[in-house]
A = this chain, B = another copy of it.
Amino acid sequence: MAETVRIACCQLTPDVEDSVRSAARARAALGTAIAEGAQIVILPELAHCGYVFGSAQEARAAAQAADGELLAGWAQEAGRGDALVIGGFCELAPDGRVFNSSALVDGGGVLAVYRKLHLWNDESHWFAPGERPAPVVETRYGRVGLGICYDIEFPELTRGLALAGADLIALPTNWPRDSPPREEPILHSLALTTAYLSRVFVAVCDRGGSERGLDFQGGSVVAAPNGALLSAAAPGGGEQTLVADCELRQARDKRNGPRNDAFADRRPERYLAMLAQDPSAV
């Protein structure tokens, strides 16, 4: 496990109206980040094609196979720097279904693909929901857990990734700009408390700009296990690359006080029944 890992979030402004530019821009941004020393590079959700599809046909036309040229290109860039790339892409599955997915690749190719479990708004019109749990992948830099955007609002998923051993939870994101009830973007509050509660690193690579009338937050953020924001985009920001040097091994230490431990202190036999229940029955 490396001493310190440089994580870069390439906040971009993909445009569903120009997927050729979007794909080229994503590849160029990650290539630049790697050339400048980033070891783990994260791209936004649906980084190569944009977000605001108008039809299932449009999403399908943008979809790429996991073993196709898109991820091969990301892997090629990763290989130039012994880096990892995590990025969102519109996936055409072998069975013909289309998913909102995140890929983890290194220079050797695709290490894992995660298909988003929690679809937001119109996404359910374009994408099939994922069917497998979010994965944690052992890499040369540490263990990386995968999620996408709205997934961060499900503590079952983020806590689950941490309990499965993730040192870093990486979330490609397309966060529609919200009207937060306070100055700090909710995305930053979510990232820092997710990190703090499970003593993990959390990296959200959001997108900026707008597409077809939908404005995005531009709220990329990297949070440390103590709840510090290591790097955060100014709200409303456009294209920029956030960089944070992270000692991922810190996430292996769950102690949160002289006699306490965020994981060992859990009392699973006292709350799993509560989590399993069907709230609609209340």
Contacts and interface: CB of A to CB of B under 8 A. Distances in A.
Contacts of A154: 197, 265-267, 271
Contacts of A130: 270
Interface string A248-282: 00000010111110111111101111111101101
Contact of A163 (B162, B189, B268, B275): B275
Contacts of A120: 257, 260
Interface string A111-148: 00000011111101000011111100000000000000
Interface string A146-170: 0000100111110111111100000
A226 interface: yes
A161 B156 CA distance: 14
Given A160-B275, A193-B189, A275-B268, A155 B155 contact: yes
Interface residues of A, number: 66
Contacts of A267: 117-118, 129, 154
A121 B159 contact: no
Nearest to A166: B282
A132 B269 CA distance: 9
Contacts of A263: 279-280
A207 to B, nearest CB: 18
Contacts of A150: 260, 265
B256 A153 contact: yes
A128 to B, nearest CB: 13
Interface stretch (A16-24, A31-39, A51-59, A179-187): A179-187
A230 B262 CA distance: 28
Contact of A279 (B163, B227, B229): B163
Which of A122, A129, A133 has the most chain B CB within a 10 Å cutoff?
A: A133
Contacts of A271: 117, 133-134, 154, 156-157, 160
Contact of A190 (B132, B134, B193, B256): B193
A224 B181 contact: yes
Contacts of A181: 224, 226-229
A10 interface: no
B133 A274 contact: yes
A196 interface: yes
19 contacts: A120-B257, A120-B260, A122-B259, A132-B270, A133-B271, A150-B265, A154-B266, A154-B267, A154-B271, A155-B159, A157-B274, A159-B275, A160-B274, A165-B282, A181-B227, A181-B228, A182-B228, A186-B196, A186-B227
